[in-house]
Homo-oligomer: A and B are copies of this chain.
Amino acid sequence: MTAGKNRQIVLAARPVGLPKAEDFRLVETPVPEPGPGEMLVRARWLSLDPYMRGRMSDAPSYARPVAIGEVMVGAVVGEVVRSSHPDFAAGDVVEERLGWQEYAISRGREARKVDPTLAPISTALGILGMPGLTAYFGLLEVGRPRPGETVVVSAAAGAVGAVVGQIAKIGGCRAVGLAGSKAKVDYLVGELGFDAGVDYKTADLHAALAVACPRGVDVYFDNVGGRITEAVSRHVNPFARVAVCGLISQYNLEKPELAPRNERFVLVNRVRIQGFIVSDFYARRDEALRQLAEWLRQGRLKYREDVVDGLEKAPAAFIGMLQGKNFGKQLVRIA
């Protein structure tokens, strides 16, 4: 038996619009006991990601929703406390989607060992984890930029967007980031080496895009959807590619926004718009992680984390992230 309690955050209600604190509930349960072939993992870091908003809803999607009363879905990095799994031993650091909780049982099937000598272990939830992989595969396999082309990314100061722009630069492209404050835009250009940034909240978006993209847009990596995407669409070049990664502007809408149909720009410019989900590329995960780690080691990739302390802060941090209040990869540090 493990002494002590496990704190968990469960889905209390399906949100209407922007989630609120009462849609979540903190519960305490006994720390579970691993069975044969299982291990007990103690979470150190919890990742908060926009996709989680989709799992709170029961609209049809590519993954099943979280049930009411069920622990919220989410990836953690943690330490193996006890294990009877042949591949994992006490003390190992693992990354796995174990949910918003302090302790969890893992059968190891989707657990990935994290090398703590490579980089801080929290990066296994960011630049060396799902967000980094999303940027890598989405840009290189869906966007397919060529050197000299202009790559625009929305939510560019976020965990995915920041990596997209930096990989675009490594590939010899012009990188342009859209973000929601002057501080974020300054960070993109001053710290991450983007060629230009556009504050979508204050700027005349069309004029700013025209200045930032003097040769038009060849690849648009879309994390937001909605009116920002509509604006970028007007600047695309023939044979442009749009990698649809996320739609954070739309997740909290109670009914779909109406907008002018976008088919004409697709036809006239022979645009390719393609949705993708990172796990579709996981057969090549190790290759991509090696490349990302190498770029990180070389100083060609930088990252920024936005950390809150304590599992109980997760709901507020998640709600803030959906509003763009985070600056960098949103993490919860678990004591």
Contacts and interface: CB of A to CB of B under 8 A. Distances in A.
Nearest to A253: B261
Interface residues of A, number: 35
A179 to B, nearest CB: 20
A274 B272 contact: yes
Contacts of A226: 261, 263
Contacts of A256: 260-261, 264
Contacts of A247: 263-264, 267
B273 A277 contact: no
A274 B275 contact: no
Q: What is the copy number of this chain in the assembly?
A: 2
Given A274-B272, A275-B266, A261 B225 contact: yes
Given A250-B264, A260-B256, A261-B257, A273 B270 contact: no
Contact of A275 (B225, B244, B269): B269
A272 B273 contact: yes
A263 B277 contact: no
A266 B258 contact: no
Contacts of A250: 261, 263-264
A307 to B, nearest CB: 28
A39 interface: no
